[in-house]
Every structure is written in C-alpha cells, then in structure tokens.
Amino acid sequence: MTHSELKIFKKEGQKITCLTAYDASMASLIDGSGVDIILIGDSLGMVIQGSSNTQSVSMSDMSYHTEIVSKACNRALIIADMPFESYNNADSAVANANQLIAKGADMVKIEGGSEHLKVINALISENINVCGHLGLQPQLVVDSSGYKIQGRDNKSAEKILSDGVLLESLGISALVLECIPGNLARKISEKLIIPTIGIGAGIDCDGQVLVCYDMLGITSGKQPRFVRNFMNSEGTIAGAVSAFVREVKEGTFPSKSESY
C-alpha cells in the first residue's frame, strides 16, 4: 500500500481500514488480515506503558516500536506518530521525522492545524509524507476528563474545516479526524481530495481507525461509544481483525449508535 493508493481508494469509494500496532506479532497478524494502514500510535503510552496520557512517549519509544512493527509488515502502509514535543520547530521536526522514516515508517502523523504551518511546510519540502490529525488532539489531553467531542459549535467546527483545507493545500497525504460530529466529518470529507480517516467521527469518513486493543476488548476502563469490541462476535484475534476489515469495507462500522 502506498500513499498514492489511498487517494485512489477515496476516488473509487473504497473504504480504508487502519489499526494500531506496537509489536511484531500483532503487526504481522494485522498486516496478514488485509488492513490497509498500520499506525504506530503514541497511544502506546497508555496501552503499553500504562501512563494516563500520551505526553510521556519519547522519540526513542516511537523509533523502537516503529522499527519492530515495520519489520513484520509486507503490505500495509506504515504511519508513525510524531510524539509530544517532537515537532516544536521545523528543524527538530524534520530530524525526528527522518528518524522514524529510517526505522520503516512510510508516513508520519502530526496533531494540529495552522499552528504547525511552518513545520508541515518543512516536512513536505523534504519529501516526507505527512498525515494530519484534527478534532480531538490526544497530545493536549492530560487525563480522561479531557477526552471530549470537538467541533460541536459553529466556530470550532469552522476552525477544524479550515485547518483541514489548509493542511491539504500544504500537501499532506491523509487526515485523521477524531471525536467530531458525523455531519462535520462528512462535510470535511466531501471538501477534501485527500482521504479522511475517522475515529469517533462517523460513517462518512473515507476510512476508520481504532486502537487494536480497544477493538479486541482488552483495555481497561470505560470504552468510548465509537469503539466496538469485535471479539464479542469472533473466536480469535485474527477473526476479530478480519471482521473489522469487512465491516468497515461494507460500511456497517461505525453504526449511528457508535457515532456522535
């Protein structure tokens, strides 16, 4: 899978599937189940390291997990999160992104919009593929009380939309939309040529992403409404991943009850 193929998927109306992975065994299983994108998410700070947020994840953490995941994959596009404070300025962003690319990432993901214009310009000018991330930005969340739906009022919705248009104009390859109303996600997805990948953003995004442990029902605490436990209907992890792929491709996940 290449970043150019993602645009073809969108043009042809094919839904894009994405799951996180943090180790070689899970990455190999997900890759072999036909998932289009594997995200090495800084969510590893919580699901792997046991922290209350993603801010403690370091570049060395991301480099390590990117390397072991990428070695296990043969077909999926590999996106690696740029961790908290790894892209405070253009020079550090380029250096850190190149480190993740060297470890096997095909693309890096950055949270935020217009505030990172110079950074994203620098990455694109160095031919580094970038995935944007708008809506809820986990790197700004300190504890669970900060996980709230974004873009509910007109002003914040217009900011998310305008940031999406800006990021596309800068040359990003894809855009993650997290925890925003489904009608806003639909509006953004229809406006942009690049594919949108939703998590808690409704059915009308061009693709869907979930944390692998969430969709297997093995994370603690109350799950957000957009998470479906695919292990409930399947007897194996491979079966659950295949069910996720099938239901995203068929447009049956997420349902209305799993959207905002």
- 67 is a catalytic site residue: no
Confirm if 70 and 82 have CB atoms less than 8 A apart: no
Catalytic residue among 178, 190, 234, 247: 178
Catalytic residues: 178
